[in-house]
Amino acid sequence: MILSLRRCILLSLFAVASANAQDRIESTDALFPGALDPLDRSWVLSRVVDDLTGAPIANAAVYFVRESDTPLAGEFWFTRKVQTDKDGWLRAPVADIERKWHIQVLRHRDYGVAARVGQGGDIWRVGRPFDVPVLVRDWQGRPATGATIGFCGGCGHTPDLVNAVTDANGIAILKQIDPHSDIGDVYVQRTGLGLGYDSVRWMPGAPPVVIDCDWSPAMHGTVVDHKGHPVAGAHVAALDVHRGPWAKTAVDGTFRLLGGKPEVGASHVRTADGREIWFEGPERYPVTLRLPDPHGSSPHEGTIVEPPRNQKAATVRTIEVNLVGHDQLIATCDWPSSAGPCKGTKVLQIPSSGPFVIELWVDDGAAQMQDARAFAYDDASELPGEPIELRWFEPTHLVGRIVGEAGEPVPARVFLRQRFSVAMAEHYQDRAAVARFSIATWRIGLHLVEIVPVQADLQPRLVWAMLPALGQKARVNLGSIKLSKTAQLRVLDGDGHPVPGAVVGFARAGYQKVGYPHRFPLAPDGAFCGPDLVSGDVVVVRLSNNSAPWRTVLQGEGPWIIRAPRGQLQLDIEGVADLEVTCVIGDHVCRWRKGQPISGLRHGPLRCYVSAPGRRSVIVDTMIGKQIRHVVMRMTKR
């Protein structure tokens, strides 16, 4: 009996040893997220990962960039540069550069350029880069050739990440950028153009991003000191937005400032030693900006010398207009010397001579409707007879045919969703079901067409529709839209049952902001109620708040069935009762809770990085199976 008991004990110990033999626990001085006190800002610790797959991004260059008080277009500067390691870890000491940086800029051959503001989070998700087309238009709505455009990853005080020049069609290509950056501001500069300050938001296949620029003169002149000597290396600004704009004086004190608002003018000078001088905004150029005596009574107030006024004020006349194509149209007219746009619905004031633009607007607050239609004239003599007919854009016609699995026509209700809103934004068919549809819309860009069949055994569909820039009688044919009885995707648990309450996200390169997949519900049988999927799309599922989100990259043509992973890892950690312990598994960060396993893990090999303030980090390599995986470990003091 005693021998039998001893034999059982030995066998039990052997079983525990065999299980633990699959675990590799490494204590290390390497820092991972959670290794420092939350108030300790001496390091930036993050894992840099692909937003879609969660895979770590190795060998990415990361620049720590300070905001500049005098940012110049086309310049890039930084305070520190580091590189991610082979596992995507970013470790940057920043104690010695406190208050000397504001944003982080990432550059990688496969991921282009990305940026984030401040310290950032434990995981830095990076989206796939795209070459984004931008159409720059002048104040008359005409393509602006030869304009320089800069793309910023922070506010205008930060440097350009990418620069481009518009071609003969007014198109510039911003190469390898994230089209959904947190701050994706662009600035345009060219003689005759305003700064064109706007943000880039774009999706693959969409029309170019349109940047409309106001009129702006080239503000040029010379900066001299109080004795009349040229001042080199001074910065001159027409301060309107963060970017200024700014220019820098040459050796002879001359400057050329592009993009400023005429009413602001070149009114601010900052010398190389940081001295700031203000001026009344000049109205005419070239101008001489004379700095005050730094030891005088008004060391920050300069004086200006403008050329004499030789331009007569423009005279105006009134014309009759007839606005056609929409019930809520309003017309405005603008020209460089006007005090502001003139508005009207029946009559409109225009300049007697010189260039002007008439713009047609829909005054109903429609968020997605094209802002305006521009009619440019070089002189009033170009106008046809009155009343002048101004016609709104013709709508785009979206057409298609709905068929069943055998190609037979089937009736369904058709709705056009606004962007990716879960709720139906508006519908263009009445409640009667149709097998053919034609939707007239003034919307542009990527939208979803919702097909709701009458037959209960057919699955509804959300079909992608790329609507072009507004023009004359554009037509988009979606062809035959086939409805099936089989769902394109079902999400089930490990036992093959539907998962009530699961949060399901859809992600595709260029279709969403990093870290924010579009969420769609599941039907009671687990069918995915989202848009049409293709191979390479990513489905992100989270079963509950206590489980790790898991990502599935779809392969093949479908239909697909994916099952929620059921693996669990429980860490039994000694010596950290009063500390907050952080665990990183892949691209997921969670807080350790004693006795509570991390769930939602895939079966197979797993690596977990464990950190706590004041303790050496631990790297755990283990194998996840059907049973809860228990790992006993200890974290020693650093």
pLDDT per residue as tens digits for the range 120-130: 999 999 999 99
Domain for residue 369, yes or no? yes
* Of 300, 298, 302, 283, residue with least CA distance to 224: 302
Out of 305, 327, 359, pick the residue that ends a domain: 305
**pLDDT tens string 449-499:** 999 999 999 999 999 999 998 877 889 999 999 999 999 999 998 888 998
How many Å apart are CA 287 and CA 276, to the nearest integer?
A: 18
* Of 286, 258, 281, 259, residue with least CA distance to 269: 281
pLDDT at 158: 94
Out of 215, 239, 258, pick the residue that ends a domain: 215
pTM confidence score = 0.90
* Of 206, 48, 73, 70, residue with least CA distance to 126: 48
pLDDT beyond 70 at 368: no
Report the length, in residues, of the chain.
Answer: 638
Q: How many CA atoms lie within 13 A of 588 on its CB side?
A: 22
Q: Are strands 503-507 and 518-520 parallel, antiparallel or unpaired?
A: antiparallel
Cα distance from N-terminal residue to C-terminal residue, the chain? 48
Examine the domain organization and report whether 65 and 139 are in the same domain.
Answer: no
Examine the domain organization and report whether 157 and 110 are in the same domain.
Answer: no
Examine the domain organization and report whether 63 and 111 are in the same domain.
Answer: yes
Residue 472: phi, psi to the nearest 5? -105, 110
Examine the domain organization and report whether 90 and 162 are in the same domain.
Answer: no
Domain for residue 335, yes or no? yes
How many Å apart are CA 286 and CA 252, to the nearest integer?
A: 14
Out of 373, 391, 409, pick the residue that ends a domain: 391
Q: How many CA atoms lie within 13 A of 313 on its CB side?
A: 4
Domain for residue 533, yes or no? no
Q: Which domain holds residue 463?
A: 396-482
Q: Which residue has the tokens 């006190």?
A: 37
* Of 298, 236, 315, 220, residue with least CA distance to 271: 236
pLDDT at 425: 44
Domain for residue 504, yes or no? no
Please say whether the beta carbons of 149 and 190 come within 8 A. no
Domain for residue 555, yes or no? no
Task: Report CA-CA distances (Å) from 391 to 192, 321, 356, 373, 472.
Answer: 28, 10, 18, 9, 11
Examine the domain organization and report whether 386 and 443 are in the same domain.
Answer: no
pLDDT at 8: 41
Q: Which residues contact 296 (CB under 8 A, 6 or more apart)?
A: 226
**pLDDT tens string 288-333:** 999 999 999 899 999 999 988 766 667 899 999 999 988 889 999 9
pLDDT at 363: 77
Which range has the worst mean pLDDT, 23-32, 48-57, 307-316, 485-494?
A: 307-316
CATH assignment of the domain containing 630? 2.60.40.1120
**pLDDT tens string 206-262:** 999 999 999 999 999 999 999 999 999 999 999 988 899 999 999 999 999 999 999
Domain for residue 35, yes or no? no
* Of 302, 299, 221, residue with least CA distance to 269: 302
Q: Provide the token pair at 386.
A: 């009155």
* Of 421, 420, 440, 418, residue with least CA distance to 429: 440
Label residue 21 by pLDDT band (50, 70, 90): low
Domain for residue 519, yes or no? no
Total of domains in the chain: 6
Q: Provide the token pair at 118.
A: 């401040």
- Measured over the CA atoms of residue 497, residue 498, residue 500 and residue 504, the dihedral's sign is positive
Buried b (16+ CB within 10 A) or exposed e, 47-79: bbbbbbebebbeebebbbbbebebbbbeeeebe
How many Å apart are CA 411 and CA 429, to the nearest integer?
A: 12
Please say whether the beta carbons of 538 and 500 come within 8 A. no
Domain for residue 543, yes or no? no
Q: What single letter denotes the amino acid at residue 174?
A: L
